[in-house]
Structure 1
Amino acid sequence: MTKPAPGPDQPPIPVRLVTFNIRHGVGDDDRLDLPRLAQVLQSVDADVICLQEVDRHYGARSEDVDQPLLLSRALDMQLAWGPAIENPRGAGAPDRQYGNALLSRLPILISDVHPLPGTGEPRSALRTLIELDGGTLWVTTTHLTRSGDAERAEQLALIAGLHSEAMEAGVVVGDFNTPADAPELAELQGLFADAWELARDKQDRSRWKLWQHDAGFTHPSGSPHRRIDQCWVTHGVAVASARVVDARGASDHLPLVVDLEIPSGV
């Protein structure tokens, strides 16, 4: 079916997106509590939820459960899964997996996983195409390495290459393990811009510190002073608001919620 051409009379499509490093359901009290996490995610009322550090049958630390499946059922959302680590267990047992997940109220049309270069812990990017009412949105969810600027630059170059101008509206979100003004983020600039900087309205959890007003810090959750959980948007995607919300102790990170405005017909 041919999509209608965008025009000035077509309002933008609102999409609420959250990105959250969930530390496999372990809170800042070092207690595994998946129901607590599900309540936090439910409270933000998001259309698309992007998660990092998610376990799937990973072992005793997360009670060997399928965390993305349980969360998708609890929230009644569609699921896309992007493992970064896969360890076979054999004898018919499910593989031990760890990585990124995307939950969506909206139809997921495409989902693919892209291993990222680098040493140390394996990393990946989960790319999905979301169907909107009158448009589409590409969402890439990732968790970058802690092994240094050069390796992050390689990873970001690959991620930027997953999105061409012909794909139009898109976002890259996740735990970047580096500030938004780090030199390696130049790999995204050109196609993408920092949603926090674009947001017409900002709110965070640092208001009690006057020198951190609206700084967007997400880590560590108890006393945030690093803006490493980020959302980057393609040109033409507007950002009505960006806010860091209370995780209720569900992780060592805080969730970042962005209200996007996607051009119609793209």
Structure 2
Amino acid sequence: MKNRKPPIVKVMSFNIAHGLGMDGITDLERTATVIEDSCATVIGLQEVDRFFGERSQFMDQVEWLGNRLGMYTAYGANLDYAPDREGMPNQQYGNAILSKYPITYSKNHHMTPVKQWYGNDEQRGVLEAVIEIDDMAINVFNAHLSLKDEELKLSVDEILSLTQKSKFPCIVMGDFNAPPFYSPISKMNRHFTDAFLKMKRGDAYTYPAPHSYSSTGVDLKPVTRIDYIFFGPEMEVAQTATISTDISDHLPIVADLVLARNKQALRPKEKTSKAKA
């Protein structure tokens, strides 16, 4: 029997800003269309609302996107507030993972906050998921990290601790709120491969999304890269791309990752549970 070709997974990371475009309009259908057109099969989304408020029409954006795209979903709430009215769901804001393949396990990890006199004190988090691809499994970590230097450094250490415990090949992606020359990103590169650097596209800027100030006629373009897709040694990258759009303040990024079949194992069935949230 011939060996099957190793599967290629198209991974996307996208800070969707709860569907708020650079034109000031919130429209989740535009978000879904960009994801759909990308043909990504594993997607990490940041800044996703669930019943959060009027800004997103109190929608469960995770369920809506999962149904719209026909994908499995997992969600991790980093902000979780009591509802304004009794009997309503909690108002939540956090990270989501969408997948064409079954999600067999998911867990949200809150990052340790560091109190400082500057910057906000928003709770940050990393959503973990185990995803089955044929007879294999991968561990996906989707992060939205702090703007504060000390907290960012601590969060990267905590992410690396999580990945070191994993039994499966790991993908780490998300909005790290830090450019490539920051020391926490350099530390990530000592343990994982940056898909865009590997493809010699380290200048593929993702923030802010291109937009115009109509009153001044000034066109703005992305000036820094703060969104990343990292992968472990069991994988290779075939291609990468940024997607030009103004439906969020970040540009989505995609990478085609080739999984080495002979280096992966599937968690025994009795240790997994189906997760579709």
TM-score normalized with structure 2 length = 0.84
- Identify the residue that residue 250 of structure 1 maps to in structure 2: 247
Q: In structure 2, how many angstroms separate the alpha carbons of the residues matched to 1:166 and 1:28?
A: 38
Q: In structure 2, how many angstroms separate the alpha carbons of the residues matched to 1:152 and 1:72?
A: 30
- The 3-state SS of whatever aligns with 1:167 is coil
Q: Is the 8 A contact 1:160 1:187 kept in 2?
A: no
Q: Is the 8 A contact 1:176 1:230 kept in 2?
A: yes
Q: Is the 8 A contact 1:168 1:234 kept in 2?
A: no
Q: Deviation at 1:71?
A: 0.7
Tell me if 1:135 matches 2:136. Answer: yes
Q: Deviation at 1:9?
A: 4.8
Tell me if 1:27 matches 2:25. Answer: no
Q: Deviation at 1:36?
A: 1.1
Q: Is the 8 A contact 1:150 1:184 kept in 2?
A: no
Q: In structure 1, how many angstroms separate the alpha carbons of the residues matched to 2:138 and 2:32?
A: 24
- Identify the residue that residue 207 of structure 1 maps to in structure 2: none
- The 3-state SS of whatever aligns with 1:138 is strand
Tell me if 1:182 matches 2:176. Answer: no
- Identify the residue that residue 35 of structure 2 maps to in structure 1: 41
- Identify the residue that residue 221 of structure 1 maps to in structure 2: 209
Q: Deviation at 1:192?
A: 1.3
Amino acid at match of 1:138: N
Question: How many residues in Structure 1 have an aligned counterpart in Structure 2?
Answer: 245
Q: Deviation at 1:191?
A: 3.0
Q: Deviation at 1:169?
A: 1.1
Q: In structure 1, how many angstroms separate the alpha carbons of the residues matched to 2:243 and 2:166?
A: 34
Tell me if 1:231 matches 2:229. Answer: yes
- Identify the residue that residue 160 of structure 2 maps to in structure 1: 160
Q: In structure 2, how many angstroms separate the alpha carbons of the residues matched to 1:187 and 1:158?
A: 12
Q: In structure 1, how many angstroms separate the alpha carbons of the residues matched to 2:3 and 2:193?
A: 25
Cα deviation code 1:88-134 (max 9, x no counterpart): 12621100000000000001011001000124111111000110123
- Identify the residue that residue 262 of structure 1 maps to in structure 2: 259
Cα RMSD (Å): 1.7
Q: Deviation at 1:193?
A: 1.8
Q: 2:63 aligns with which of 59, 69, 82?
A: 69
Q: In structure 1, how many angstroms separate the alpha carbons of the residues matched to 2:261 and 2:181?
A: 30
Q: CA 1:166/1:95 → structure 2, altered by over 3 Å: closer, same or farther?
A: closer
Gaps of 5+ in 2: 116-120, 211-220, 265-277
Q: In structure 2, how many angstroms separate the alpha carbons of the residues matched to 1:29 and 1:189?
A: 35
Amino acid at match of 2:163: H
Q: 2:7 aligns with which of 4, 8, 13?
A: 13
Amino acid at match of 1:19: S
Cα deviation code 1:149-189 (max 9, x no counterpart): 22101001111111126624111100000012311124434
Q: 2:238 aligns with which of 218, 237, 240?
A: 240
Q: 2:101 aligns with which of 75, 82, 106?
A: 106
Q: In structure 2, how many angstroms separate the alpha carbons of the residues matched to 1:66 and 1:157?
A: 32
Q: In structure 1, how many angstroms separate the alpha carbons of the residues matched to 2:111 and 2:171?
A: 18
Q: Is the 8 A contact 1:221 1:253 kept in 2?
A: yes
Q: In structure 2, how many angstroms separate the alpha carbons of the residues matched to 1:41 and 1:70?
A: 13
Q: In structure 2, how many angstroms separate the alpha carbons of the residues matched to 1:22 and 1:191?
A: 27
Q: In structure 2, how many angstroms separate the alpha carbons of the residues matched to 1:153 and 1:21?
A: 20
Q: In structure 1, how many angstroms separate the alpha carbons of the residues matched to 2:60 and 2:131?
A: 23
Cα deviation code 1:202-229 (max 9, x no counterpart): 5xxxxxxxxxxx7210110111111101
